[in-house]
Chains A and B, each alone.
Chain A
Amino acid sequence: MSSKRPNQLFRNMPAKVAAIPMVVTALFIFVGGTAWTVVYSFTKSGLLPRLKWVGLDQYERLWGTNRWLVSIENLAIYGICMLVLVFVIGFILAALIDQKIRFENTIRTVILYPYALSFVVTGLVWQWILNPEFGVQGIVRDLGWQSFTFNPLYSPQIAIFGVLIAGLWQGSGLVMVLMLAGLRGIDQEVWKAARVDGIPTWKTYIFIVIPMMRPVFITTLVLVVTGIVKIYDLIVAQTGGGPGIATEVPAKYVYDMMFQAANLGQGFAASTMMLVTVALIIIPWAMLEFGGKRRV
């Protein structure tokens, strides 16, 4: 009989010991905190948490509240537009810069620069740019085009797109840089082969290069999506949720309920719903992404 196989648990001991603090943090703070929030979302917690069960009351009220429904709708509009546009703009910018142009470093820095600004600064800057008296509309009117109207932040129907512009301005640079890194990682031989075969450049990008950049796309997707779901500071700085409730978002609903309305239960219910929404998107995707590979 050969000696027993070493216990899997004790293999690579130093690495496991080193990971313990992170594991503990993840378990107690992230998982524990999440569980605590979910539990208390079934209670009637006011200013302070207390275990007074009310069943699904908080959720019923949440889904009966117009402001929450508007928040969800806004997040969906902002999220889908942001996701599509930031990828399109980011990739096109990266592809343009990749044409071995002059002053590449300068242009790259200029485009990435907005990302170095916080959302609060971005929000305030765009609040001024979109202000009808001092911003774009005012300048064009001063040039003589008196009937020119461009004030998205003051019309409830399109105010969320005013926020979207600011979000795109801030986020496109990062996507561009990531895409550029991906493009530079493509072997030049691929390009040469495509040219020999007489494939047009745009077709090479779409059918050969982009599929090869899959890992970069996934990294970027995760970064962009988490940025979208947690959007809060941009809204607070740029519109404060207004005009009316036209640019409210779920994260702001959670904050306002917890700290202004002194209704923790309602805030917890809303944040639990945010978690469920994210889980509904992430879990099927993760199963497809990681579960699929094992079967192959």
Chain B
Amino acid sequence: MDAGTGRFVRHKPCYFFREENMKSIRMILAGATALGLSMSVANATDLEVMHWWTSGGEAAAVAEFAKAFDATGNHWVDAAIVGGEQARAVMVSRITGGDPMGAFQFNYGRQSEELIEAGLLRDLTDIAKAEGWADLVNPPSLLEGCTVDGRIYCAPVNIHSWQWLWLSHKAFADAGVPVPANWADFAAAAPALVAADKIPLAMGQQGWQQSGAFNVMFAALIPQEVFLAVYGDKNAEVAAGPEVAKVFEAAATAREMSANSTVQNWNDATNLVITGKAGGQIMGDWAQGEFAVAEQVAGKDYSCLPGLGTTEVLGTGGDAFYFPVLKDEAQIAAQGELAALLLKPETQVAFNLKKGSLPVRGDIDLAAANDCMRKGLALLAEGKLLPDTNQLLTPDTANQINTLFTEFFADPSMTAQAAQERFAGIIENAE
């Protein structure tokens, strides 16, 4: 202050800088500095956590993490962004732009491949070893999804499976038909639902939901070898073959059944099922959380059919937290604490009950789990599992498939055959 203003003060003494005032200014400054220091000591480390968990059930679940993290003496700074696609764009541009957050949620699999290769994400291997993740994460494929070249880069927090059909008991009662037990029954009940002024199949008009529903039919309606040959081995001949043609026929049926569903977001579509305006919805087990928030009871108000009731199988996708490489020591320590905390039994139980997803450890007891979660846990125990599409496909390929189904579902004049040809083309060029 003196050096900068000295000359000016000498020429024209300024009232503000007179000696007695300088004294009081110094005292105020000293006081403020002391206050600031004491606050930063008392205040724990702020860690900004980004995620896209914004629907009712999701927000309730993530609040459990925040509560547990705050209890360790740190502070969870919540940075939620609506919509996974938008959220991922923001996260990636912040990390690559050199302004990383403390931690962020991603689906495990190939979304993070390049960030890891570029050395932008923190290696969690030490924490994983100390916490014994290798022994307790079940199924082990989850940890493999986090592993690149033998190093662990993410903390899996839950298992999400896409392969569920949610059915509204009210809608079927109104239409006077029994609640179906599998996809074929459901498709057959569609005319009765239409006659009762219901939408047979609720479907949000977004590419990821439409291609997701297709992938579920793909996994459930035909033998699983085909699914793995197409998405795992990227075999374009199989993708153009007669088995996959059946799935496209089923998708065309689904398109007819969802013709009057004009909602956009997945939870709005789930709400159609909850309120009985729609018969059912193909959506992942995160829809469970919405039914829970609406205080509906599984088996009484709604049914859930894993693998569309046709082939009982679960995909083992899910969410994981990744931690960008940071410089600040305190934040690095807080990252470590958070990573370890996410897999603790108590956090896992509290989080997954609210989220409607399955825990990543096999050694905890979900006594409070409802019907649907129990079905999922049983399948998990039996090992009727499939890898998730996020683990098999790059975001680029997934985006192409999303666009294809956005077109397919919006344009009834596009035949199943034409769509299948383009699908085979995408698989041919996939990596």
Contacts and interface: CB of A to CB of B under 8 A. Distances in A.
B310 interface: no
B410 interface: yes
A260 B114 contact: no
A263 interface: yes
Contact of B394 (A243, A244, A260, A262): A262
Contacts of B93: 259
Interface string A46-62: 11100000000000010
A99 B230 CA distance: 70
B114 A262 contact: yes
Query: In this complex, which of A245, A246, A262 has the most chain B Cβ atoms within 10 angstroms of its Cβ?
Result: A262
A245 B406 contact: yes
Nearest to A66: B407
B429 A244 contact: no
A47 B91 CA distance: 12
A244 B92 contact: no
Contact of B85 (A48, A242, A243, A260): A260
A68 to B, nearest CB: 10
Contacts of B54: none
A245 B403 contact: yes
SS class, residues of chain A in contact with chain B: loop
Contact of A244 (B96, B114, B115, B411): B411
A122 B394 CA distance: 36
Contacts of B296: none
B400 interface: yes
B88 interface: yes
Contacts, number: 63
SS class, residues of chain B in contact with chain A: helix
A70 to B, nearest CB: 9
Interface in B382-431: 394-396, 398-400, 403, 406-407, 409-411, 422, 429
A256 interface: yes
Interface string B355-369: 000000000000000
Contacts of A67: 403, 407
Interface in A225-261: 240, 242-246, 256-257, 259-261
Contacts of B407: 66-67, 244-245
B91 to A, nearest CB: 10
B89 interface: yes
A144 B243 CA distance: 52
B399 A260 contact: yes
A261 B406 CA distance: 15
B429 A61 contact: yes
A242 B396 contact: no
A156 interface: yes
B253 interface: no
Contacts of A48: 96, 114-115, 118
Contacts of B88: 259-260
Interface string B91-112: 0110010000000000000010
Nearest to A243: B410
A191 interface: no
Nearest to B93: A259
Contacts of A66: 407, 422
A243 B409 CA distance: 9
Contacts of A246: 410
A169 interface: no
The 5 closest A-B pairs by CB, nearest first: A244-B410, A259-B89, A261-B399, A47-B114, A262-B395
Given A46-B396, A256-B399, 12 more contacts: A47-B92, A47-B395, A48-B115, A242-B410, A244-B406, A245-B410, A257-B399, A260-B395, A261-B400, A262-B111, A263-B396, A266-B396
16 contacts: A47-B92, A47-B114, A48-B118, A66-B407, A242-B410, A245-B407, A257-B399, A260-B85, A261-B400, A262-B111, A262-B394, A262-B395, A262-B396, A263-B395, A263-B396, A266-B396
